[in-house]
Amino acid sequence: MAGNNTSFERGASKAIAAPFRKAFILLVLLFVVIIGRMMIDATWISRNGPDSLKELQTALQADIAHADEVPYFLPTVFDPPKTRAMNWALTIYHWVYVITSFDHFIAQPATENPIEAAAKRGITPQRDVFVAMMVGTQIVAVRVSLLLGALPLLALFYLVGGVDGLAFRSIRRIAAGRESSSIYHRVKYVQVVTITIAIIAYLWWPGESDPRKVFVVTGLICGLMFRYQTKFFKKYF
């Protein structure tokens, strides 16, 4: 009896902690994405010069403009895509740079405080690098908002691929075709890798990127792989 109670308590504690654990993982991933983007933007500016800062600003404006071109599947109670993208960019800029007063620290001239003046003398030559990091952070926020809006499109590709794959699975079962759990699991892992690489590449790409091509190509590839995965699904139901 005591063993059953212990198992129940462990299961309940895991169920309660699961949402917080997932939220923590998402925050860590977002932090890694932002830091990685900052490093890419800093390297981009250092190698290509201050003129590349205009390219980043143009990419930000283009991403916001693309928000109205991406298929919009969310209910009307949510903000329109362009408004949502701009709000996300302003929100992440506020939390990362305004609350920390980093933007004022860069913009304002040196003060009489010798420590602050010395710090600003070291930052001023690299001002374009820090501005590029700010713009890059906003680009990440805009592209994440576009990704969330395109999730129903990805689900549609998975739905079509899953239905077609289950139809081929039924044909395979009737014809006594070959089963393969290794193919099923390998395709599943390839899907995870494909989605991860596509998202990271899209968020970290320093130049302008058309989200429609990224979402459609990624969704098509994942839908085809999911079709192939369900075709070799072994469990009977």
* pLDDT tens sequence across 165-195: 888 878 777 766 666 667 777 888 888 889 9
- Single residue among 126, 149, 172 that ends a domain in this structure: 149
Q: 206 CB contacts (<8 Å, ≥6 apart)?
A: 40, 41, 44, 55, 56, 59, 136
**Tokens encoding 101:** 């007063």
Are 236 and 119 contained in the same domain? no
Domains: count for the chain: 2
Same domain, 198 and 116: no
Two structure tokens written together for 127? 């001002």
- For residues 19 and 183, the answer to whether their CB atoms sit within 8 Å is no
pTM of the entire predicted model: 0.79
Q: Are residues 141 and 171 in the same domain?
A: no
Least confident stretch, 39-48, 71-80, 175-184, 205-214: 71-80
Which of the pair, 119 or 44, is modelled with greater confidence? 44
138 vs 77: which has the higher pLDDT? 138
Using pLDDT thresholds of 50, 70 and 90, give the confidence band for residue 10: low
Biggest CA pair distance of the chain: 84
Higher pLDDT, 19 or 92: 92
Give CA–CA dist 137/60, Å, rounded.
10
* pLDDT(237) > 50: no
- Please tell me the predicted confidence (pLDDT) of residue 204: 92
pLDDT the model gives residue 68: 77
Mean pLDDT of the chain: 79
Q: Are residues 62 and 169 in the same domain?
A: no
Q: Please compute the mean of the pLDDT values over residues 111-119 and round it to a whole number.
A: 59
Give the model's pLDDT for residue 178.
Answer: 65
Same domain, 154 and 71: no
Domain containing residue 195: 150-237
Looking at the structure, do residues 211 and 122 belong to the same domain, yes or no? no
Q: Which domain-ending residue is among 134, 149, 164?
A: 149
Given a cut of 60, whether residue 236 has pLDDT beyond it is no
**Which of 94, 127, 149 is the last residue in one of the domains?**
149
Q: What is the three-class DSSP state of 100?
A: coil
pLDDT computed for residue 23 by the predictor? 79
Same domain, 62 and 16: yes
Co-location of 32 and 112 in the same domain:
yes
Residue 40 has pLDDT above 80, yes or no: yes
Show Cβ contacts of residue 109 under 8 Å, excluding neighbours closer than 6 positions: 120
Higher pLDDT, 127 or 90: 90
